[in-house]
Amino acid sequence: MTTAPLLLWFRRDLRLDDLPMLTAALATGRPLIPVFVLDAETEALGAAPKWRLGLGIGAFAARLVAAGSRLVLRRGAALPVLQALVAETGAAGVMWSRLYDPASRKRDEAVKAELRAQGLLAESHAGHLLHEPWTVETGTGGFYRVYTPYWKAVRGRPVAEAVAAPAALPAPEVWPASEALEAWRLGAAMNRGAAIVARHVQVGEAPALSRLQRFLDGPVKEYREARDFPAVDACSGLSENLAYGEIGPRRIWHAGWAAMERGAAGAEHFLKELVWREFSYHLMFHTPEITTRNWKPEWDAFPWQGDGEAAERWRRGMTGEPFVDAAMREMYVTGRMHNRGRMIVASYLTKHLMTDWRIGQAWFEDCLVDWDPAANAMGWQWAAGSGPDAAPYFRIFNPATQVEKFDGGAAYRKRFIAELSRQAGAEALAFFDAVPRSWGLSAAQRYPMPMVDLAEGRERALAAYANRGLQA
């Protein structure tokens, strides 16, 4: 009698290195059938993350073939698709790595309950985070609402060693049929931006590991000081790979920790940033409403502006505020935005333009190849002032002084705003090819005047806060 196989349901964990569910599955000695399901939750991804996911799936499928396995692609609601595959293959059950956003949790709980009710094995495993969100508790047994105590709580906490990828995966005797990745057209909504952003992505496990190595071999030493300067290549770039699970956080943590022990100056700061990601998941797990509602309910009284011309100029990188526009254009050209840029554009939209943070959040969700439900929600609510551990309401970044401080030589502005140079570079020009033609933008246009007076915008926001009695 042949041993019944197990289905491995991959989602945002497209790797073989350090994947707890894979370690558990291998320990059963069963043949393994890796599966990716294009369900409604996955279909709902924004244009750029969906396109990037398609690249990730392609790279992962090739990786599996090299390991003597395959990736079976199926489209449909997760539960019936998995049930059909169980019926076709005689599988003993399904394993997967946990996700923590509200929609995935709801889906996964239902899948687990139904499969178990059928007498099948249905197991979820860690893998996306260093610490499962419910395992980190305050002294009184609650969850953390502020980052620094959270960091202190996890800094010395043991993190299990990363487990190396297996050389091969045990294959079933017969493979179930797979749909074709191209037929899914995951990049359809990217239109002409895809060819441009493609120059900047680094897809798959091997590139993710090289990225980590490259960062720890060099930039980490200056990371603490240089990470705020958007023209400097000072950060790891790993958010893109973490978003699809092409590298695991434990691998990064241990490599960063080893660098710290070797005396690399910025390594501890790098670990702290990785823990910001953890913290965002901790918050999303304990307060899922962070993704949709003001985390501080008193902010519901704030007169947020809806979508309209102001938000549209912001989206188009045509506010006339060079730091804001450079950062927005960076996003269309590279699929990413420097962290300092994210803070500036979010502060500008929510404070100077008083626009609802959810409009910015949704736009990032559509445009970032490193889109992450927890980090994005936390980042936006932090910038708006409505979130946990947020910037105090009166802290309104002034993009003009920020740009002098962090882009004094104008390298970043010139890199992405063609209108500011006599001889615009390739990336500045690529912006006009990346954005929709319907925006009607061209490099020959004049750079616009600032759409709001910064001092007036600031006063207007401060008055609105004061009128509503909002506190820091």
Binding site for ligand FAD (CB under 6 A): 227, 235-239, 242-243, 273-274, 276-277, 280, 339, 342-343, 346, 364, 368, 370-372, 375-376, 379-380, 383
Q: State yes or no: 244 annotated in a binding site.
A: no
Closer residue to ligand FAD, CB minimum distance, 48 or 122: 48
Closer residue to ligand FAD, CB minimum distance, 71 or 345: 345
Q: State yes or no: 223 annotated in a binding site.
A: yes
What phi and psi, each to the nearest 5 degrees, are found at residue 105?
Answer: -60, -45
Q: State yes or no: 270 annotated in a binding site.
A: yes
Closer residue to ligand FAD, CB minimum distance, 59 or 384: 384
> Least distance from C-beta 104 to ligand FAD, angstroms?
16
What phi and psi, each to the nearest 5 degrees, are found at residue 96?
Answer: -155, 165
Q: State yes or no: 51 annotated in a binding site.
A: no
Separation CA 105–CA 103 (nearest Å): 5
> Least distance from C-beta 80 to ligand FAD, angstroms?
31
Nearest to 361 by CA among 377, 348, 375: 377
Nearest to 358 by CA among 279, 439, 292, 421: 292
Nearest to 19 by CA among 185, 160, 180: 160
> Least distance from C-beta 360 to ligand FAD, angstroms?
7
Closer residue to ligand FAD, CB minimum distance, 291 or 376: 376
Closer residue to ligand FAD, CB minimum distance, 67 or 232: 232
Closer residue to ligand FAD, CB minimum distance, 170 or 266: 266
For residue 6, the Cα-to-chain-centroid distance in whole angstroms is 29
For residue 200, the Cα-to-chain-centroid distance in whole angstroms is 16
For residue 66, the Cα-to-chain-centroid distance in whole angstroms is 27
Q: State yes or no: 295 annotated in a binding site.
A: no
Separation CA 275–CA 374 (nearest Å): 12
At a CB cut-off of 8 Å and minimum separation 6, what does 223 contact? 234, 235, 265, 266, 267, 269, 270
Cβ–Cβ under 8 Å, residues 233 and 198 = no
H-assigned helices in 90-130: 102-117
Count of beta carbons in the 10 Å neighbourhood of residue 26? 16
Residue, CB closest to ligand FAD: 379
Binding residues for FAD are 223, 270, 370-372
Binding residues are 223, 270, 370-372
